[in-house]
Amino acid sequence: MLGRPLLFATLFALAAPVSAVTIYKHVDANGMVSYGDQARPGARVVHVIQPGRGFRGLQSVSPRPERLPMPAARSDAPDDRVRLDTLKHAGGHTLRVQNDTFAPVEVELSLDGLGNVSGAPDEPIRWVVPPRSQIRLATLAPRDPDKPLRYTPKLRHAFGDPRLRPLPHRYPLPWRGGPFRLTQGANGQYSHYTPKGRHAVDISMPVGTPIVAARAGVVVQTENDQRGRSPNPGGNQVRILHDDGTMGVYLHLQEGSVRVSEGQRVQVGTPIANSGNTGRSTGPHLHFVVQRNVGLAVESIPFQFNQPVDALPNFAVGGD
């Protein structure tokens, strides 16, 4: 933690006393971060040190700690693959949920604005819908058959079965090659401060590094055609559902590199994609996180690798 203040103090001491010192942050092609007083292509201003005031004159140009804006991500939402169908018949309406994903999905159905309705539940209905299946949640009938039913349905949903509990597991490093550097860990204040990513890690590595499954499971979500920063902040990605209900998520992957498909069963070490620099990424890296459904909300959970990140190259995944 003392590295940055000492760097700024050194730069200030070496600078001419008659002008302010501007500190630039630069991220190279491999995701390596450096600070200096020389403007380089792609660098951004992070601090200005005013003359005659020493290190205590440090004035922040951007919020401290630096944080990336966190727009709504699609990395944990089943989207339109989970839908509410209304089947109309002579007796009224049947409300049915269709789950077209390869993961169990927790759903909650609530009904507002009721009018001329019988059979409506007093409380929202929650259910876990198995993969690739459908389930009837309610059948509504008119109190007066000569008048229409009036109601507004609202469906919430989240990947995973919240009734399952994570099992102890130490994850092999999900890449081949290295060693690479951890650039942001759990509770990192740059971008790992939301429930979905609080326990994530960012590993700097060149674009094209082979990414492999760190745990066996079923691929339940992929994205492979994003080229730049939008529309998904996580960029290209793979989500793998493990047998204990947890999910390993691999983000910022290289466009067109995803080698697995939804519904495919993978084992530890199965090649799944290449690392990239897509989405809201400040440089080439892999964002890896383990998540679970805690009750209509997917959140990150603590996990451990089975070896230090910056140790010897992990050429044989799962080996000693």
Where are the domains positioned within the chain?
77-159, 165-305
What single-letter amino acid sits at 161?
A: D
* Lowest-confidence pick of 32-36, 158-162, 178-182, 313-317: 32-36
Domains 77-159 and 165-305 share a fold: no
Rounded CA-CA distance 42/33 in Å is 12
Q: Which residue has the higher pLDDT, 66 or 127?
A: 127
* Lowest-confidence pick of 60-64, 87-91, 150-154, 179-183: 60-64
CATH number of 165-305: 2.70.70.10
Joined together, the tokens standing for residue 149 give 């039913």
The three-class DSSP label of residue 292 is strand
Q: Which residues of 123-147 are buried (b: 16+ CB within 10 A; e: fewer)?
A: eebeebbeeeeeeebbbbebeeeee
Rounded CA-CA distance 42/318 in Å is 38
pLDDT at residue 218 in the model: 98
What pTM was estimated for this model as a whole? 0.73
Per 3-state DSSP, the chain is made up of helix, strand and coil in percentages (nearest 5) of 5, 40, 55
Partnered with residue 27 across adjacent β-strands are 33
Cβ-Cβ contacts under 8 Å for 168 (sequence gap 6 or more)? none
Number of Cα atoms under 13 Å in the Cβ half of residue 124: 15
Cβ-Cβ contacts under 8 Å for 157 (sequence gap 6 or more)? 78, 82, 105, 106, 107, 108, 296
Q: Which residue has the higher pLDDT, 162 or 68?
A: 162
Q: Which residue has the higher pLDDT, 5 or 98?
A: 98
CB atoms near residue 242 (< 10 Å): 20
The three-class DSSP label of residue 1 is coil
Contact 238, 219 (CB under 8 A): yes
Q: Which residue has the higher pLDDT, 8 or 62?
A: 8
pLDDT at residue 96 in the model: 97
The three-class DSSP label of residue 79 is helix
Instruction: Return the DSSP state at 197.
Output: T
Instruction: Return the DSSP state at 3.
Output: H
Can you tell me the mean pLDDT for 152-158? 96
Q: Left if phi > 0, otherwise alpha if psi is -120 to 50, otherwise beta: which for 56?
A: alpha
Would you say domain 77-159 falls under CATH 2.60.120? no
